[in-house]
A and B are shown apart, each in its own frame.
Chain A
Amino acid sequence: EPEVTQTPSHQVTQMGQEVILRCVPISNHLYFYWYRQILGQKVEFLVSFYNNEISEKSEIFDDQFSVERPDGSNFTLKIRSTKLEDSAMYFCASRLQGNSPLHFGNGTRLTVT
């Protein structure tokens, strides 16, 4: 069964550094998402992406965050200057159409020291 794949599985970075989290959504899916989950807590929406542009973003997704789909297969989340509170599990997800379930990747655990 097709999967959403995310790399790396774990990223450790120092405060103030830039990180790029990478995702390969399922190939025929049209809608792409980033969510994050602080350990043991709620799954929080960051951003959705459709037709090569951001559809919706949350308050968390401020100017430090950006997304790209550079080549028709990868979908990346960049954090320009990481803060301690950015430490979380970041999940990429995709869906085929507007009423199908989101398929989640295995996540990237980001640790900011």
Chain B
Amino acid sequence: ELKVEQNPLFLSMQEEKNYTIYCNYSTTSDRLYWYRQDPGKSLESLFVLLSNGAVKQEGRLMASLDTKARLSTLHITAAVHDLSATYFCAVDIGGAQKLVFGQGTRLTINP
């Protein structure tokens, strides 16, 4: 059974600092997605990573995928308060018709 593990699960940061969230998964996949969830809200798609070495950037967030290491990272550069949210990675098992989500990383950015 596919396991998807994120770390850290909780992250409290100062504004303007950099940090990385890690997403490890246990079986072969070359499709990985990052989502953001604000409290009480839905899940918003951030990044779609569809091949080994894929890198996507949007503003202060950058996501990458290493399928050989079964690892994706979400890097936050010069954090701002608006980025406070819970971030989920989700791995797609081709043909299995589902995404399996990590536990989520609750990010709090303090002024």
Contacts and interface: CB of A to CB of B under 8 A. Distances in A.
B31 interface: yes
Interface residues of B, number: 22
B45 A101 contact: yes
A43 interface: yes
Contacts of B94: 98
Contacts of A99: 31, 48, 50, 92
Interface in B54-111: 88, 90, 92, 94, 96-104
Main secondary structure of the interface of A (DSSP, over half): strand
A32 to B, nearest CB: 10
Contacts of A102: 33, 43, 45, 90, 99
A42 B98 contact: no
B42 A105 contact: yes
Contacts of B88: 43
Contacts of A105: 42
A104 B96 contact: no
Interface in A43-88: 43-45, 48, 50, 55-56, 58
A93 to B, nearest CB: 8
Interface of A: 31, 33, 35, 41-45, 48, 50, 55-56, 58, 91, 98-107
Given A31-B97, A45-B100, A102-B90, 14 more contacts: A41-B103, A42-B103, A43-B104, A44-B101, A45-B99, A56-B98, A98-B94, A99-B48, A99-B92, A101-B33, A101-B48, A102-B43, A102-B45, A104-B44
